[in-house]
Amino acid sequence: MKIRQHCLLIVLLLLTGTLCAQQLQVNRVELNGDNVILHYVLLDTVPGRSFTVNLYASRDNYINPLENLTGDYGPEIKPGIGKKVIWNAKQELGATFDGKVSVEIRARVYVPFIVFDNFDKIKRGKPKEITWRGGSRQNTLNFELYNKRDEKVTTVIANINAAAGNTSLSIPSDVKAGKGYRFKIVDSKNKDQVIYSSRFAIKRKVPLLVLALPVVAGGAAVVMLGGEGGGGLGEIENPKPPPGD
């Protein structure tokens, strides 16, 4: 696989029309095994603002963002020095790829195309009503579930029209309960449009204590610790039948 590095300087314009307020510059490109690593600096004169950073390749004329990325990419990237994004070219292009490809990095001011209410917790197998503001009929939403390590778990629901303003989500029953989950919401017609929900917990539909009650309701087994010899487990007494049996 031969990869031609493509370095460029991008001067961004504010959405309000102010000129030359931000600057994105690639300082170094390195090849490390199957990975292409771009080291860049993102500068901005407006405090508190964030950006969407993505990589594009010549294989599709720089139309869709690359997917096999790690590092400082995606929405809500804060300005700073020492930024880097890592592209696994082998995964993206396939092990049999043999040719040249140019890679381009782009950044734009992050403005969420829809705004969700904060997620708190969602129970597995129980529909959860989700509402949002913004979006249009041109936005078709896919909800992808990621764990706290930002590994994709599953696509929960797909092809939702953003103009509807709401939908009902259901977490599959085989998803592990726990904290730190979040949704990645992607416009399937424009993969540059991406937002993340806040972190939330996934709960069991029925608590474990409730599930266990029928097991212990019929009686109790007593384990005698330290028998006459003073060590080990003693005998397990048979439970007494309830009155009336």
Indicate if the pLDDT at residue 205 is higher than 70: yes
Count of domains for the chain: 2
Supply the DSSP string of the chain, one letter for each residue.
---B----EEEE--TT--SS-EEEEEEEEEEETTEEEEEEEEEESSTT--EEEEEEEGGGTT-S--SSEEES-EEEEPPEEEEEEEEEHHHHH-TT--S--BEEEEEEE---SEEEPPP-EEEBTS-EEEEEEE--TT-EEEEEEE-TT--EEEEEEEEEEGGG-EEEE-B-TTSPPEEEEEEEEEETT-TT-EEEPPPEEEE-SS-HHHHHHHHHTT---EEEES-TTSSSEEEEEPPPPPTT-
Residue 25, judged by CB atoms within 10 A of its CB (0-12, 13-18, 19+), counts as middle
CA-to-CA separations, 24 to 15, 103, 232, in angstroms, rounded: 16, 15, 69
More confident residue, 154 or 117: 154
Please check the confidence at residue 220 and state whether its pLDDT lies above 90.
no
- If one compares 237 and 164, the residue with the highest pLDDT of the two is 164
Full residue range of the structural domain in which residue 125 is found? 114-203
Residues listed for the chain: 245
pLDDT digits (tens, 9 = 90+) for 129-179: 889 988 888 889 999 999 988 888 888 888 898 888 889 888 888 899 999
Are the beta carbons of 195 and 114 closer than 8 angstroms?
Answer: yes
The token pair at 116 is: 């969700």
* Top-confidence residue, 202 or 237: 202
Count Cβ atoms below 10 Å from residue 229 Cβ, excluding itself: 7
In the chain, the amino acid numbered 82 is: G
195 within domain boundaries: yes
Higher pLDDT, 233 or 75: 75
Mean pLDDT of 112-138: 85
Q: Look at residues 109, 139, 168 and tell me which one is the last residue of a structural domain.
A: 109
Q: Specify whether 136 is located in the same domain as 180.
A: yes
Q: How confident is the model at residue 85 (pLDDT cuts 50, 70, 90)?
A: very high
Residues 96 and 13 in one domain: yes
pTM: predicted TM-score of the whole model, two decimal places = 0.65
pLDDT (0 to 100) of residue 229: 47
Do 105 and 31 lie in a common domain? yes
One domain, residues 119 and 69: no
Question: Are 97 and 118 in the same domain?
Answer: no
Asked if residue 222 is part of any domain, the answer here is: no
Q: 230 in a domain, yes or no?
A: no
pLDDT-above-90 percentage for the chain: 24
Report how far Cα 70 is from the mean position of its chain's Cα atoms. Answer: 12
> What are the residues facing 50 on neighbouring strands?
none
Q: Name the pLDDT band for 222 (thresholds 50, 70, 90).
A: very low
**In this structure, are 78 and 92 located in the same domain?**
yes
pLDDT digits (tens, 9 = 90+) for 18-74: 334 678 888 888 888 888 899 999 999 888 899 999 999 888 998 899 999 999 999
